[in-house]
Amino acid sequence: MPFRTFLGFVLPSVVAMLMLIALPLAGVVYLSLWNSYTKTSFVETTVRTPVGTRVERRPVAELDAAGNPVIVREWYGSRNFETVLGASNLAEAWERDRSVSATGQPTSAWQRFTALFRDVTNVKFWGALEFTLLYTAVTTPIILALGFLIAMGVNSVVRELKGVLIFASLLPFIVTPVVGSLSIKWLFLDNAIITVWLEQLGFGKIYFMQNAFTTRLLIILVGIWKATPFVFIVLYAGLQTVPSETREAAIIDGANRWQTIRHVIIPHLMPLFVFVTLIHLMDAYRVFEPILVFSGGQGADSLQHLTYKILSDEQNFHKASAAALLMVLGIVVLLVPLIIKTYKDQRRAFA
Amino acid sequence: MFSRRTLGLFGSIALGALMASPAMAKCSITRTGTVDVIGNAFPVIDHIAKAMQACATSGLTVNVKVTDKARVETEQAFAAGTSPFEIAHVSNGVLVNLLAKGQLQPMTDLVNKYKAQYKLEDRMLVTVGNEVYGIAFMANAQHLFYRKDALEKAGVQPPKTYPELLAALPKLKAAGFETPFTAAYKTGWDVATEFTNLYLGAGGEFFAPGSAMPAFNNAKAVAALDTMTRLKAFMSPNAQALATADVTTAFQQGQAAMGILWASRAAAMDDDKVSKVVNQIEFAAAPAVTAGGKPSNAIWWDAFVMPKQMDGDREAAFLVMMEGVSEDTMKTGMTLTNWLRSGFQPNRHSKGVAETINANAAMWPDQPYFSLAHAALGKAAADVLAGTKPAAQALADAEKEYVQTAKERGFIK
């Protein structure tokens, strides 16, 4: 392909990526290196509100000649990153003496490790990272397996049922995440449909948001419910392309159903498995809505939620940018093995 | 995912639902342009939104966005070069933050021009120095909600203090309420607010006078956290996930006998479409920490404000706001909230707020750095309630966190 033609094809998307991805990212990097705030000074002020009038020393925004608030900008360098990572708390946790337990007994290596782990995950960022990784690691294999099973199931039912089944399977995928999480919260709260139903089935009263374990379980279940349809639809599309010759040849060679799946269908779908894994790793790593709705960060936090909290609670764009960048860094690390594999496959394909 | 047509359909259904309002007094604004309004999602704001939308003419577009993330969105919008909203409904807590960042527009001139026409009362004007920065229209508070029938059955008097409340809970439990108490203990904003109520009730101070230095790591704070831990034992095990809407539902479904909830939810208790306890819930000031003390809650008020950075016609925006808080709007929605206008006729739903104000309850802390302390305390209180940290350690951590964030925002040098 002549270089000009190639350029004609890729230029629009390169420009779009520069404008919509690279530029904002550069902006976030820039923001994260600074701190800024409205300059205030404590001034004796008369405040009249519906509750009464008070005169007190309050911080008042300083105004410039044009009447606009004065904004102070400070170079922070890596300080925002250190704050988000909880560098000082982390150092404290590392240096804490754990050689004897609270009762004065010498501790084992395992006890010292778990105590250290607890102290480290008590630092917000590391606690959020722990659950984010756990969530990603647990949901990924489950949705791959479930999505594949549903795809195989739908593929083998009679034609008339397929439409209905596909629609039902895709439903969680269509529901907006926050709405999905909220409605699920209302399904699992006290005396809600599912809890009452489970009680009638003899499981007793289950409180799904009572502690870290149950909350984590619920968030993971919601994640699986939400992501499985995506895997299903991609693999189902892939199943339509399995060449019938290969499948028939396998059967003629005496392969049973399991062997056909194992040696014909799965290898054929392998690139799609890699694709959905890649997409889900990125999605799972950004888990947000269920955390916001179910836990508010207690017992199960995520990096995305942490970034949101910094932005909404502290109104600090700079620190939130640093948190967002640390998250992006994490996604890159997570994806490296898969990207290397894709790159190698591509090279082999073109070699 | 959705076709554009489907989305359009949803849009017009939602719009139709908003426009289908009961008979609303005619709005007679003759100005043109677009006025965008953002407000918090609770019943009276829906009512005000309809009054504002009644002003829309062929030349004037009025868009009202009602969302439970209004606080976050308003703070971002007002910090932007040009705010996408010309009017925002804010609580006193948000108003002071915006004010300290110099992001509010004085509307003194407009107030003077229209004060007589719209019968604006002095107590509605939020004034700092000589400038009016907000038009307050309602008072709010979190106070005691209780089931009259249940308390009578269990032989319990409505509690005046927290020790009385804690003594009553086992009796209510014995009378068949599995989880007799409820309150919004959700991690973050909600639980921090409950902590603030109890801490203020004990006479606690958050900051050293006239400065942003923290003063909340003390015995009163530990006692407040201890009370919350004891209350939690009588709440649903899902306590730490309960937000205001969930507490409202718990009452409406008859699961709770007593609890602390926003006054703005009182009318919803008697809505027979969603409530099983119509006319059974009574309202009172929050219990005091000790006998004879102030109620353990704070007085809030809500106001409409305008951003400093906005384009469009500020007079049109102001007039739309005036229609939203007019005497007619109050008259057609008298029972929806505690209006600040003198023509307000108190009803049984406003008893809790009236008692709170009469008992001189504390004002919600209005320092612009309070929201930073509040955020740090939200995590601390949640850790204590979950049993992952002792109170003293959690408070020390919150203090450290607060100082860090207050330094970043320039409040502590």
Question: B190-238, pLDDT tens digit by residue?
Answer: 999 999 999 999 999 999 988 999 999 999 999 999 999 999 999 999 9
Q: Is the pLDDT of residue B345 over 50?
A: yes
Residue B4 falls inside a structural domain = no
The answer to whether residues B207 and B279 belong to one domain is: yes
Q: Which residues of B touch A48 (CB under 8 A)?
A: 125-128
Which of B124, B129, B405 faces A45 most closely, judged by CB atoms? B129
The answer to whether residues B20 and B56 belong to one domain is: yes
The answer to whether residues B254 and B379 belong to one domain is: yes
Q: What are the backbone dihedrals phi and psi of residue B199, each rounded to the nearest 5 degrees, phi first?
A: -70, -40
Q: What's the CATH code of the domain at B227?
A: 3.40.190.10
What is the maximum alpha-carbon separation in chain B? 63
Q: Which of A102-111, A203-212, B21-30 has the lowest mean pLDDT?
A: B21-30
- The mean pLDDT value for A32-52 works out to 92
Residues 6+ apart with CB under 8 A from A163: none
Which of residues 168 through 227 in chain A touch B, CB cutoff 8 A? Answer: 174, 185, 189-191, 207-212, 215
> What is the predicted ipTM?
0.89
Closest CA to A116 of A138, A139, A99, A133: A99
The answer to whether residues B197 and B75 belong to one domain is: no
Return the H-helix or E-strand segment holding A159.
helix A159-174
A48 in reach of chain B (CB within 8 A): yes
Residue A293 falls inside a structural domain = yes
The answer to whether residues B309 and B347 belong to one domain is: yes
Question: B60-88, pLDDT tens digit by residue?
Answer: 999 999 998 898 899 999 988 899 999 99
- The mean pLDDT value for B382-405 works out to 96
Question: B284-298, pLDDT tens digit by residue?
Answer: 999 999 999 999 999
* B238/chain A closest Cα distance in angstroms: 4
CB contact under 8 A, B386 and A212: yes
Residue A189 falls inside a structural domain = yes
* B293/chain A closest Cα distance in angstroms: 19
Closest CA to B30 of B319, B286, B228: B319
CB contact under 8 A, B253 and A312: no
Closest CA to B124 of B111, B140, B135, B109: B135
Residue A21 falls inside a structural domain = no
The answer to whether residues B340 and B382 belong to one domain is: no
The answer to whether residues B148 and B256 belong to one domain is: yes
- In three-state form (DSSP H/G/I as H, E/B as E, the rest C), the secondary structure along A73-116 is EEECCCHHHHHHHCHHHHHHHHHCCCCECCCCCECCHHHHHHHH
Which residue type occupies A113? F
Which of B136, B240, B246 faces A189 most closely, judged by CB atoms? B246
Q: What's the CATH code of the domain at A181?
A: 1.10.3720.10
Sign of CA dihedral B287, B289, B291, B297: negative
CB contact under 8 A, B299 and A299: no
Q: Which domain holds residue A227?
A: 125-315
Q: Which domain holds residue B243?
A: 141-299+362-408
The answer to whether residues B376 and B342 belong to one domain is: no
Residue B413 falls inside a structural domain = no
Cα–Cα distance measured from residue B114 to residue B314, given in angstroms and rounded to the nearest whole number: 13
Residue A333 falls inside a structural domain = no
The answer to whether residues B263 and B330 belong to one domain is: no
CB contact under 8 A, A191 and B253: yes
The answer to whether residues B234 and B373 belong to one domain is: yes
Number of H helices, E strands in chain B: 15, 11
% of residues, chain A, pLDDT over 90: 51
Which residue type occupies B4? R
Residue B281 falls inside a structural domain = yes
Number of domains, chain A = 1
Q: Which of A122-126, A330-334, B406-410 has the lowest mean pLDDT?
A: A330-334
Number of domains, chain B = 2
The answer to whether residues B167 and B314 belong to one domain is: no
Q: What 3-state class would DSSP assign to B409?
A: coil
Q: Residue written as tokens 């033609």?
A: A5
CB contact under 8 A, B241 and A316: no
Cα dihedral B229/B233/B236/B241 (nearest 10): 20
Which of A35, A59, A314 faces B372 most closely, judged by CB atoms? A314
Cα–Cα distance measured from residue B29 to residue B51, given in angstroms and rounded to the nearest whole number: 12
Residue A86 falls inside a structural domain = no
A313 in reach of chain B (CB within 8 A): yes
The answer to whether residues B203 and B163 belong to one domain is: yes
